[in-house]
């Protein structure tokens, strides 16, 4: 699909006038790139190209995996010359993962390349910034050179220096560099918005590498990096508003629906059924009435899990899905935390889990509630509220969560980041001693094969006077 993309962000540039030309680029989300480093382990311990050697060099005490709320990211503490670098890192290596991609550019053609990083800068004390992102194919001295500060994104080191935008870079943003084939300029996109498409080389050097970090003492600071992804070819980010508009779907249109009616034998209140098994329910009070499954575990472990035929046999590690359920929280019996209902969704690659209390929704990343990510603090006791979880099927940061059609979390990392296990099921209820209380479930519905945004459109009223 070719789409003309219009810039909507005002920038200041020191070299040339911005947006002197517009290129029709195919759109592609970075989750579909060939090379993805999701920071569940360090790039210096990844071998995506399968050559038996790690893809990046440059590790050390300055680089470590994050924990707590930043799990699924790495921490960089830079003081002058630390970097992650993909090139000929080993003498026997023909050129490393970046060179193996074999992207080319140049005035007479080539393939181009696209690099995306998701990061936040927490401190910048260097004279030029905290860190930089540099890429080049080595077929010319044309290099990207994107510089990150806490309040500014710039281009170039000692030539073609330009302030692209003054912004708050201390929160998460997606930064994309695109080198189009047959050109000597670059485009930069931030969170899907084109900020400049006519950037010449940031330094003079004929190199063939991908570089994230600091080149010298001009750069110092701290940053967290959620992912680094790259792909041969020039790709614009997806138009997310258009994607969400095109993918709208009410859960009533999903393929699989459990409406909790008394005559639906696929889910039982007391025994195993065709689609769900129930565990640890001894002593619990459970009923189905008027399309509502009401559960009071009475302090006992009580949960349902899909049978293999209902879920595991239908999904693979690449399966995208969207699942929605409606629940009302009636009580919480856990002291020291608001957590009643756990709802797990999992395929072989990634597991997601939201924990719902009377007035809190968490994304679980740890067994410690203090580490988990708070998504929402609204009242969940007044009525049945809709919760939707989607997974993109491609990345470890691929989860999105909505509450009552409002997005409350995105780019959420999967549960296996901390427990190392891989599952394939849907599970809900009270699976152990870390959650407890009474709740109702109105329905559970899902659709495999895609990420579907809630459809908030309403039928038009025609008033005849």
Q: 3-state SS of the chain?
A: CEECCCCCCCCCCCCCCCCCCCCCEEECCHHHCCEEECCCCCHHHCCCCCCCCCCCECCCCCEEECCHHHCCCEEEEECCCCEEEECCCCCCCCCHHHHHHCCCCCCCCCCCEEEEEEEEEEEECCCCECEEEEEECCCCCCCCCEEECCCEEEECCCCCCEEEEECCCCCCEEEEEEECCCCCCEEEEECCEEEEEEECCCCCCCCCEEEEECCCCCECEEEEEEEEEEEECCCECCCHHHHHHHCECCHHHCCEEECCCCCCCCCCCCCCCCCEEEECCCCCEEEEECCEEEEECCCCCEEEEECCCCCHHHCCCCCCEEEEEEEEECCCCCCCCCCCEEEEEECCCCEEEEEECCCCEEECCCCCCCCCEEEECCCCCCCCEEEEEEECCCCCCCEEEEECCEEEEEEECCCHHHHCCCCCEEEEEECCCCCCCCEEEEEEEEEECCCCECCCCCCCCCCCC
Can you give the pLDDT of all 465 residues of the chain as single tens digits?
A: 333 333 333 333 333 333 334 458 999 999 999 999 999 899 999 999 888 889 999 888 999 999 888 999 999 999 988 999 997 655 556 558 998 888 888 767 789 999 999 999 999 999 999 999 999 987 778 899 999 999 999 999 988 999 999 999 999 999 999 998 888 899 999 999 999 999 999 998 888 899 999 989 999 999 999 999 999 999 999 998 999 999 999 999 999 999 999 999 999 999 999 999 999 998 999 999 999 999 999 988 999 999 999 999 999 999 999 999 999 999 998 877 899 999 999 999 899 999 999 999 999 988 777 788 999 999 999 999 999 999 999 999 999 999 999 999 999 999 887 667 778 999 999 987 777 899 999 999 999 999 999 998 865 444 454
CA distance 125 to 231: 32
**Which residues are CB-contacts of 378 (< 8 A; sequence separation ≥ 6)?**
359, 361, 385, 403
User: Could you tell me if 44 and 54 are in contact, meaning their C-beta atoms sit under 8 angstroms apart?
Assistant: yes
**Which residues are CB-contacts of 61 (< 8 A; sequence separation ≥ 6)?**
none
Residue 341 burial (10 A CB sphere; 0-12, 13-18, 19+):
buried
Q: What is the pLDDT of residue 92?
A: 54
The full set of domain ranges for the chain reads: 2-240, 247-448
CA distance 349 to 318: 7
Nearest to 328 by CA among 168, 441, 180, 447: 441
Q: How many CA atoms lie within 13 A of 201 on its CB side?
A: 17
Q: What is the pLDDT of residue 178?
A: 97
Q: Which CATH architecture has domain 2-240?
A: Sandwich (2.60)
Token duo for residue 316: 């693979």
Same fold for the pair 2-240 and 247-448 = yes
User: Could you tell me if 100 and 94 are in contact, meaning their C-beta atoms sit under 8 angstroms apart?
Assistant: yes
Q: State the fold for domain 247-448.
A: Jelly Rolls (2.60.120)
Q: What is the pLDDT of residue 10?
A: 30
Nearest to 398 by CA among 385, 414, 387: 414
């Amino acid at each position: 699909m070719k789409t003309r993309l219009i810039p909507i962000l005002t920038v200041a540039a020191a070299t040339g006038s911005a947006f002197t030309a517009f290129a029709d680029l195919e759109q592609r989300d970075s989750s579909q790139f060939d090379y993805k480093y999701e920071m569940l382990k360090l790039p210096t311990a990844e071998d995506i190209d399968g050559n038996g050697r790690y893809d990046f060099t440059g590790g050390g005490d300055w680089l470590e995996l994050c924990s707590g709320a930043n799990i699924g990211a790495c921490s960089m503490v830079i003081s002058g010359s630390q970097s992650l670098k993909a090139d000929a890192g080993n003498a026997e290596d023909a050129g490393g993962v970046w060179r193996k991609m074999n992207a080319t550019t140049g005035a007479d053609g080539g393939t181009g390349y696209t690099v995306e990083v998701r990061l936040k800068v927490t401190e910048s004390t260097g004279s030029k910034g905290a860190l930089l992102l540099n890429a080049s194919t080595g077929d010319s001295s044309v290099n990207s050179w994107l510089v990150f500060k806490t309040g500014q994104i710039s281009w170039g080191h000692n030539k073609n220096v330009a302030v692209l935008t003054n912004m708050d870079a201390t929160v998460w943003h997606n930064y994309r560099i695109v080198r189009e084939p047959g050109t000597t300029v670059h485009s930069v996109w931030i969170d899907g918005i084109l900020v400049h498409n006519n950037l010449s080389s940031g330094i003079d050097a004929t190199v063939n590498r991908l570089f994230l970090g600091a080149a010298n003492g001009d750069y110092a600071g701290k940053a967290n990096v959620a992912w680094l992804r790259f792909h041969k070819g020039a790709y614009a980010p997806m138009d997310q508003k258009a994607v969400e508009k095109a993918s709208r779907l009410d859960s009533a249109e999903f393929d699989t629906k459990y409406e909790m009616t008394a005559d639906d034998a696929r889910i039982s209140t007391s025994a195993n059924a065709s689609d769900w098994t129930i565990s640890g329910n001894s002593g619990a009070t459970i009923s189905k009435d008027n399309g509502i499954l009401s559960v009071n575990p009475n302090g006992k472990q009580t949960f349902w899990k899909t049978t293999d035929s209902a879920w595991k046999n239908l999904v693979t590690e690449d399966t995208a899905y969207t699942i929605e359920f409606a629940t009302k929280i009636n009580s919480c019996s856990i002291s020291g935390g608001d957590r009643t209902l756990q709802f797990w969704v999992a395929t072989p690659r990634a597991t997601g889990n939201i924990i719902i209390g009377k007035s809190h929704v968490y994304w679980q990343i740890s067994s410690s509630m203090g580490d988990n990510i708070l998504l929402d603090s609204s009242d969940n006791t007044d009525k049945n509220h809709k919760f939707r979880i989607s997974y993109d099927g491609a990345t470890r940061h691929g989860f999105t969560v909505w509450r009552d059609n409002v997005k409350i979390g995105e780019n959420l990392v999967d549960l296996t980041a901390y427990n190392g296990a891989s599952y394939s099921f849907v599970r809900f209820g009270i699976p152990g001693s870390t959650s407890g209380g009474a709740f109702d479930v109105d329905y559970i519905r899902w659709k495999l094969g895609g990420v579907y945004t809630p459809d908030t459109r309403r039928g038009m009223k025609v008033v005849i006077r």
